[in-house]
Amino acid sequence: MSLTYSMDTSELNRTLADLAIAAGKDADTIVRVESRLFAEQSMRRTPPRTQGQGRKAVERDIKKIIAAAPESLIRHAMNENGGSGDNIKLFTGDTEEPSIEWHRAQLTDDRLEEYHNSQRDRRGRIQSRARTTGGGRWIEDKRIVVPERVRARYIKRKQQNVGRLKAGWIPSARQFQGKVPKWVSRRHEAGARGTSQLRGAGTNAVTAIMTNSARGASKLNQFMRDVLRIRLSAIKRKIRLINSGYAKDIAIGMRVRSRARRT
């Protein structure tokens, strides 16, 4: 099994081989089953946990840097400052400079997205920005002010992207008959950016290769290390149970209970 994050999976590969020996099953079967569990765990660990959580995060981040107000209020504030737009930033068509004619210009989502992206940190998130007042005036921060309808439209558009990062694991989950949250597949399966391969099927050198190339996937390293740790722990636990005879005892117990029900 290999990942696009250049993670060391040598221990995982050895542990899978140990599981195949302990369970008395061929490597192909073991890799298929564990790859399904790995893909499902990867999808669960990839943020956001739920669609609602993701949508709230998008709205919260955008509101940190894009303020909104009624057009009449913004226009009044600019008039009060002699049309200079002191401490008010507006995207007005082809310029970022405040203008008394701002309300006549075409404010595009592309300009908002450009500004939004410029304020993201390396994790793609927006840091909180403190705002204070002094002498009855706003202290300028890095936010821009746009009409309420413009911000609402932009937030709604960006919320449509929620789940794309999770969707990068869809090809892997489908390859190994894993489960995919309906809210992820419904919107993003057609454009899922990921791949899945099973090489050497039917041999002892079988290998599963899963990739997630969705935007932001390069920031999943810590999440994937967590998945690797969780799956390694689970596989080792299976091996210990099998070697202790626990699995065999359970199977015998199930057969005994089945005979009892028939009689």
> For the segment 36-86, what is each residue's pLDDT rounded down to a tens digit?
999 999 999 999 999 999 999 999 988 888 878 787 776 666 666 555 444
Half-sphere exposure (Cβ direction) of 12: Cα atoms closer than 13 Å = 23
CA nearest 167: which of 46, 27, 15, 1? 46
Mean pLDDT, residues 75-103 taken together = 48
Q: Which residue has the higher pLDDT, 17 or 123?
A: 17
Q: How far is 211 from 217, CA to CA, in rounded Å?
A: 9
Task: Look at residue 66 and give its three-state secondary structure.
Answer: strand
68 pairs with which residues across the strands? 146
Give 165-183 pLDDT, tens digit per residue.
999 999 999 999 999 999 9
Assign 92 a pLDDT band (cuts: 50, 70, 90).
Answer: very low
Which long-range contacts (C-beta less than 8 Å, at least 24 apart) are formed by 183-192? Answer: 183/50, 183/51, 184/43, 184/51, 187/160, 187/163, 188/163, 188/164, 191/164, 191/167, 192/167, 192/168
Total count of residues recorded for the chain: 263
Answer for the pair 174, 153: CB distance below 8 angstroms, yes or no: no
Quick check: 253 pLDDT over 60? no
Task: Provide the percentage of residues in the chain whose pLDDT is more than 70.
Answer: 69
Distance CA 79, CA 165 (A): 44
Q: Kindly list the distances between the CA atom of residue 141 and the CA atoms of 65, 124, 129, 130, 196, in Å, as whole numbers in the listed order.
A: 9, 20, 7, 8, 45
Q: Hunting for tokens 């993670």 — which residue is that?
A: 7
The whole-model pTM stands at: 0.75
The distance from CA 156 to its chain's CA centroid, rounded to whole angstroms, is: 18
Beta bridge partners of residue 69, listed in sequence order: 147
Give the chain's end-to-end CA distance (angstroms, integer). 47
Q: What local confidence, expressed as pLDDT, does residue 112 receive?
A: 78
- Cα–Cα dist 151/129, whole Å: 18
Q: Is the pLDDT of residue 137 over 70?
A: no
